[in-house]
Structures are given as C-alpha cells and as structure tokens.
Amino acid sequence: MAQENDIIGDRYRIITQIGLGGMSTVYLALDKTLNKQWAIKEIKNIDDPRKREVIVRSLVEEANLIKDFDHPAIPRIVDLIDDQNKLYVIMDYIEGETLTNRFRRQGPCSQKDVVDWGIQLCSVLDYLHRRNPPIVFADMKPSNVMVKPDGTVMLIDFGIAHRMGEDLGHLSYGTHGVFNLGTPGYGAPEQFAINKKLDTRSDVYSLGMTLHFLLTGSDPRQEVQPIRQYRPELSEGLEKVIDKAIEKDPDKRFQSCAEFAYALRHYQEEDRAHHRVLLLKWRSFLSAVIAALVCLVLGGGALIAENVTRNNSFDYWMSLAEHELDDEQAEAYYLRASNLQPDSIKPYEGLLNRYRNDGKFTHQEATQFLESIQDHEISLKSRQIQWAQLSYDTGLMYWFYYQGPQSSSASSDSSSLQYERIRYAGQWMQDAAAVKNFSRQPQARVYADIASFNSKVVPQIVQGTDKGQFKIYFGKIQGLIDIASESRNEVMRFNVAQFVESVLSTYPRKFRADGISQQDMLNLVDHSVALARNTASTSTSGDEIKQNILRQENDAKQSIINGFIDSRKVGN
C-alpha cells in the first residue's frame, strides 16, 4: 500500500487514505504540477497475467469512453499509472460519501432525499442516453453514486458502461476480475440473459432498484415487494413509480430516464390523498359554477367573466409574481404562469431575477429551477431564439452566482467552486451558442469554449495532447475580459478579473509553449486588474474581492516571469 507523502508517477503526492475496498485503496493526493487535489485508486497486486491485462484494458477503455463527457455529475479519469505491478487510477476528487455508506450510517433514507437523488440521476443517465450512439451505464447501484455535502450526486465507476449495440465481449471481466455485465439484484434481467441485449431501459430498471433499496433496505437479489409493504408511510404514488421502473419486461418500464424523472417529480399526483383533495376542489368548483350560474341569471355575469379571465391570464400571474415580496409565493405565481404559456421564457427569467437579488444561486434554487424547466422543455425548445436566451442567462447564473452550502459569501469563493460553476454553466452555454441567429451567440461561444477547455485540459496535459490548445484558450480569456468590460455587473467584472488572474498564474509555461509572449500575458494581467480597479463595489464582500485581485497582481506577474526562466544545472 502507498504511504503518506509517497510520490506516484513522479507527480502525485499521497496526502491520506480516504477509502478501502476488497480490490483497491483510494487516496487523496496533491498534483505537484498543477497544485490540485485528485483521488488516486490503487488497484492491488494482480498475479494472474490474463486478469491483469483485462483490467488494464478495461480501465483504458473507461477513460477513453468518458474523456469527451462534459457533465458535472460525471467525474473524470485523468491518468493511469502502472508502477511496480500496481495500477493507479487518477481521477477527480469528490468530497462526500457513497449512497451505500449513507445507508449504512443512517438506515433507510427519507422519501424527499431519495426522490431528489433519483431526479438527479435520471438527468445524468439521460445525458448518457442522448449521446450518439447512446451510452448504457449498466451498473447503477448505491455504491456507484457519490452524494456531496450540498446534496448533489456524482456517478462513478464506468467500468462496464458501453455504447449501445457494440460487441460486449471485452466486458466479460469487470475491474474486479469477475465475469459480469452488471450487479446481481440491481442489474436488469436482460443483463444476465444468454443473449445479452441491453438498451437504455436497462438503466431505468437499475435506478428503480437503487431507489427501492435506499427507501426499504430490502436485498435486491431477492424478490422485492412494493415499497409500502416495508414502510407503509411512504407515498402510494411513489410506489407506483418505482414499481413501473422495476418491471421485468423492458416494454412495461418507463421508456426513457426523462419519462422516469417526470414521474418522480409528479409522484404525489398519484396519491389517494391527493385525489381526495382534488375531489374536494372539484366539488367546490361545481358549487362555484352553480353559484355563478345563479349570479349570471341575476345579472352578475360580467363579474364572473372577469374572475375566470383573470385566473386564466398569463399576464395576471406574471404581474402578481413581479410585485410579490415573498419569494416562495412569487415562485408559485411564476410556475402558474408557465403552465398557461409553456413556450414562454418570461416566467423563468423572472425566477432568475429573483434568485439573483441576493447574489447567490443555491443548490435548492437550482434544483427547483431545473425541475420547472423540465416540465415544459419541449415547448421551450420549440422557440430557438428564446431558448438560446434562457440558456445564456441560466449559464451566466451558474457561472457567476452558483454557491453550495460550503460557501458562505462571495469572498470565500475557491478555485474548486469556480471550476464547478463553469462545469454547470458549460452545457447551457453550448445550447445558447448552437443557435446562430441568437444575438449573444459570440459571447455564448466564448463561455462554452472556456468551459469545454477546463473540463478536458488536465487529461490532455497528462496525455501530452494539449499542444496548441493554450494558444486558443488565451484568445478565449481575452474575449472573456472584453465581455466583462462591456458589462456593468460588478459580480461578473470581479469574477472574470479574478478568474483570468488565476489562470495566468497557473499556466504561464503552457501559454509560453504555445507561443504566447511574456508581454502579452503581462498585458492581460494589467487588463484584468484594470477591470477590477474600475469597478465600483456596492458590498463588503465586493470590497474584499477587489482588494484581493489588486493584491494578487504582483504575484501573478511574478508567476509569468518565472514561467520564462529555464532551470539550469549548476557547476557544469
């Protein structure tokens, strides 16, 4: 086993052990080159040459499969090291615990948490399924899901993930050297058939069984019962949703994870209690209609018509939302308006403005916002320019305002949080940049390209395929400075100045290798500092960020100068 302060691959210094399994040990390590933390999985000695060859090939194929993914819930594998008969896998470090460990620690999970995790996992699986060709994850289970302190989940271990329709012969052995194409109990029945024919609905089954276990703790290898047989207090509607997901016949399951997610968001509508409430409302409605008819006969028809028109008026609910002081009530009004005009972005822009008011876009707000959009996503996307505008504004929201519970203020913003923000924003900016007639398309392209670069740069550096990429990146961050200079938004201006200063401090040698001159880099530092200096702060946290940017000017410039000093041997 590796020890504290051991150096792996002449680059990664072991900090501490963070996990231990039957075939591997996981460490937290520091990248001496990039000054960044990674997780390192050490695969224990494998004496069988055939198994070792299969495992190495599996790891390489896993890394190649996910290298082009750009989703915040999918961690990256950035390096593979074969050293003294041991294998080391270098990957993104995720703070948190697996859902298996969460269950062991606290037992059956709350209905609210499980539904939230399920919706998030539907999102990442749907991302995989929409690839061309679709990717089947094939091993959804609690131990392959990490939950972070802010409640977001990450999907880990793509060891048997594969492109739908490809030959599965190379998947005979998983990374543990065991013949499998899934985990018994969690894997769909068709995964263990003689003629394995998997499609994306296999992942629907596995996710359904994962949620079933988290709610009940029942062994999925045995014949499971509906969830309310174990916990009667659970929702009848949720029981129906999970029962459908774990149908043995793929044709009877949800046919996509998007459909599964929709059902999870609306499970309460299937509850008997909910039906009783609707019945009472229906009876009240009938009473109102009868009274209305009487009033109409008596000459009150004009007033009734006004009330009916008002309740079905998009503008009415938008006006209520815009003037409402209570954020929760305003959100309800915006959602009412969105149901009346499903293809309008106005309610969602209103929600973004609400979230922006306090300078923070929390995980809870982000989850609520995404759920509200997903209900009308098809209608919204039918109007390309409007969808591009909403995508652009949502991307900006993530890029500059997203904060998990670990960040108490803008001044505590760390580089890890910044890169997390960029990853979340990236797909939104890609959607905006894809619409050529969108007025902000050039700006969206700058954001999208920066996000894409940041998600791929470390693996490229490790693999030695980054040549020429930093020259392009330098042009993009110059463009980012130009975009921020045109804005009066102090959060955007400070954030961009701080980000550019950090990038120039981190990669001066990479920029140099791609032909960027020292003077060009120093000039860009000057531009970023000028951007901050010429921005009027309206808050204490803004003052702190501004002063920090100004203080870091000399350090950034010194890093650039050092990047042009070549080391020389002394005495020769």
The DSSP annotation for 259-276 comes to HHHHHHHTGGGG-HHHHH
> 491-509 burial, b for 16+ CB within 10 Å, e for fewer?
bbbbbbbbbbbbbbbbbbb
Closest CA to 173 of 75, 98, 62: 62
Bridge partners, residue 26, by sequence: 19, 41
pLDDT value of residue 555: 93
- Amino acid code (one letter) for 244: K
Closest CA to 19 of 217, 156, 194: 156
Phi, psi values for residue 19, rounded to 5°: -165, 150
State pLDDT tens for residues 515-549: 999 999 999 999 999 999 999 988 888 899 999 99
Sheet with 86-92, strands from edge to edge, namely: 7-8, 12-20, 24-31, 36-43, 86-92, 77-83
- Which residues make Cβ contacts (< 8 Å) with residue 529, sequence separation at least 6? 497, 501, 549, 550, 553
d(CA 13, CA 3): 10
pLDDT grade, residue 408 (50/70/90)? very low
Among 478, 443, 473, 475, residue whose Cα is nearest residue 458 = 473
Dihedral angle at the C-alpha atoms of 93, 98, 102, 107, nearest 10 degrees? Answer: 180
Q: Who contacts 209 (Cβ-Cβ below 8 Å, separation ≥6)?
A: 141, 185, 186, 220, 224, 245, 246
In 3-state terms, what secondary structure has residue 523? helix
Q: Percent of the chain beyond pLDDT 90? A: 54
Q: What is the 3-state secondary structure (H, E, C) of 227-262?
A: HHHCCCCCCHHHHHHHHHHCCCCHHHCCCCHHHHHH
The predicted structure's pLDDT at residue 163:
87
State the first-to-last Cα distance of the chain, in angstroms, to the nearest integer. 39
The pTM of the whole model exceeds 0.85: no
In this prediction, residue 306 carries a pLDDT of 46
H/E segment holding residue 518: helix 518-533
For residue 282, the model assigns a pLDDT of 58
Distance CA(56)–CA(174), nearest Å, equals 10
Q: Tell me the per-residue pLDDT of 476-500, one tens digit each, with 9 for 90 and over.
A: 999 999 999 999 999 999 999 999 9
- Backbone dihedral region for residue 82 (phi beyond 0: left; psi -120 to 50: alpha; all else: beta): beta
Please give the Cα distance from 367 to 75 (Å, whole number): 20
Q: Which two tokens stand for residue 397?
A: 């929201």
| Beta-sheet pairing, 86-92 with 36-43 | antiparallel
Predicted local confidence at residue 394, as pLDDT: 96
What are the tens digits of pLDDT across the range 458-480? Answer: 777 777 788 899 999 999 999 99
Is the CB of residue 549 less than 8 Å from the CB of residue 501? Answer: yes
Is residue 83 within 8 Å of residue 93, measured between CB atoms? no
Residue 412 has pLDDT above 60, yes or no: no
> Residue 122 corresponds to which amino acid?
C
pLDDT at 284 over 70: no
- The answer to whether 41 is a known ligand-binding residue is yes
Q: Tell whether omega for the bond before 405 is within 30 degrees of 0, i.e. cis.
A: no
| CA 450/CA 288 separation, integer angstroms | 57
Where helices occur in 9-140 by DSSP H, the ranges are 49-66, 99-106, 111-129
Q: Does 403 or 462 have the greater pLDDT score?
A: 403
Strand order of the β-sheet with 153-155 is: 97-98, 145-147, 153-155
Give per-residue pLDDT as tens, 245-263: 999 999 999 999 989 998 9
pLDDT band per the 50, 70, 90 thresholds, residue 221: very high
Whether residue 328 is predicted with pLDDT greater than 80 in this model: the reply is: yes
Round to whole Å and give the CA distance between 339 and 334: 9
Evaluate whether 442 touches 475 at the Cβ level (below 8 Å).
no
Structure token digits, residue 163: 């492109």
Distances (CA, A) of 447 to 452, 496, 514, 525: 9, 11, 21, 19
Read off the amino acid at residue 321.
A
Of 206-220, 302-316, 536-550, give the range with the top mean pLDDT: 206-220
